[in-house]
Amino acid sequence: MTDIAASCPSPWRQAFLLSIPILVGYVPIGIGFGVLWVQQGLPAWGAPLLGLIVYAGASQFLAAGMLAAGQGPVEIALATLTLNARHAVYGLAFLDRFRTWNAAKAYFAFALTDETYAVLAATPPAGNRSCDEGILWRVAMLNQGYWVVGCAIGAVAGNFIPAGIQGLDFALTALFIVLLLEQTRTRRKALAALVGAAVAVAGAAVFGTSNTLLPIMAAALAAVAIMDRGGCHARR
């Protein structure tokens, strides 16, 4: 901690500034989850607890419905694993940004979500590796904190909010759109986004949208990687 403080002034401030877009999205969607959770007849304390130990937005919504339907922990765990398998790919982008395997790296691996990845992948690494490592896990921790707070607020408010309110879940979609626009400011990234979108749309048209997220994502990543490799050869 002392090493980071000496070489990286105000790491919490830097991490907070990076996490602001996530704060705006996670709190309202967390509230939506908390409301749904208690309106399914589940105990209010379970909503923030799930945010602490599971911390997976879409999977938590899925778990709420499965628990209310009487599904067991094994079924819920398998469904969560399938839905979040893509996160294993995200971590590969940050392997060399941690000096050793330590508690910070272990926590970051757990707390790396779609939105955290999008924000950090679009941010150049800090010049000092200790500083960079410190900012990474702080951003992840702040983002999880926003999510847990949202879940807790929703769980408390759920008994006072009429059932059937529509639109709370769109906050997460809106957040993805904002993050995408932020990443497409350069021509190269905009082209990569267009290629990825084209492959995804084509894959969905051919194979449908049920249980095809991972294959479509893999195909889009492969197409972008091939395009990027071709661009590297051209520059040489």
Under 8 Å CB-to-CB from 101, ≥6 apart: which residues?
Answer: none
DSSP state of 84: T
User: Which of 72-81, 102-111, 189-198, 215-224 has maximum average pLDDT?
Assistant: 102-111
**Contact in structure between 40 and 16 (CB atoms under 8 Å):** no
pLDDT, one tens digit per residue, over 93-147 is 787 777 777 888 889 988 988 889 888 887 877 777 778 888 999 999 999 999 9
Under 8 Å CB-to-CB from 184, ≥6 apart: which residues?
Answer: 190, 193
74's tokens? 């094994």
pLDDT, one tens digit per residue, over 164-210 is 666 655 655 665 666 566 666 655 666 766 777 777 787 777 777 66
What DSSP string runs through 147-208?
HHHHHHHHHHHGGGS-TT--STTHHHHHHHHHHHHHHTSSHHHHHHHHHHHHHHHHHHHHH-
Per-domain residue ranges of the chain? 2-183, 186-236
Stated as kind and residue range, the H or E segment containing 138 is: helix 129-157
**Contact in structure between 64 and 82 (CB atoms under 8 Å):** no
